[in-house]
Amino acid sequence: MTKEEIEQYIDLDNKIKNRIVQISHALKGISGTVIHKFVPDYKCGYVTEQYDKDDFIENSSAAEELHLGLSCYANDDGWTYSINKNLLCITDAQVNEIVEYDRKEKEEELKRQKEAEEARRERLKKEAEANEYEQYLRLKKKFENG
């Protein structure tokens, strides 16, 4: 292997890492369901299996996802974060589309929650008014009979 080839691999490695960081920051807080609508083969999450360096190198070309580092050794259960390779291939325009779609979904959900809360308050108000009226009728009947 030549020095130029090694430098090409290092450059490619840095590009992949930078893309992972870029997409991770852009899609932080975005629902996996939303991402799945735009990237159907999307899988991203924590895998509770041990992956050593040799296993990673041997299986990276065949696996659907990249396994990104080990951590969490406190209870002797190592875990690794995996990210689907297809997610790294989406364009910046697609990332923006996913973010915008998620923003609209969250706005709609917030609107539905506000409407539901308003309806609940209105229902409670009517129930309170009905209870007060019933109390009034009971007291009125008590004073008229008493």
pLDDT tens per residue across span 110-138:
999 999 999 999 999 999 999 999 999 99
Distance CA 79, CA 68 (A): 10
User: What is the number of other CB atoms lying within 10 angstroms of the CB of residue 45?
Assistant: 11
Question: Average pLDDT of 94-111?
Answer: 94
Parallel, antiparallel or unpaired: strands 65-71 and 79-84: antiparallel
Task: Check pLDDT > 60 for residue 144.
Answer: yes
- Which structure tokens are listed for 19? 């893309």
145 strand-pairing partners: none
Contact 68, 19 (CB under 8 A): no
Instruction: Give the three-class secondary structure for 42.
Output: coil
pLDDT of 120 reads 97
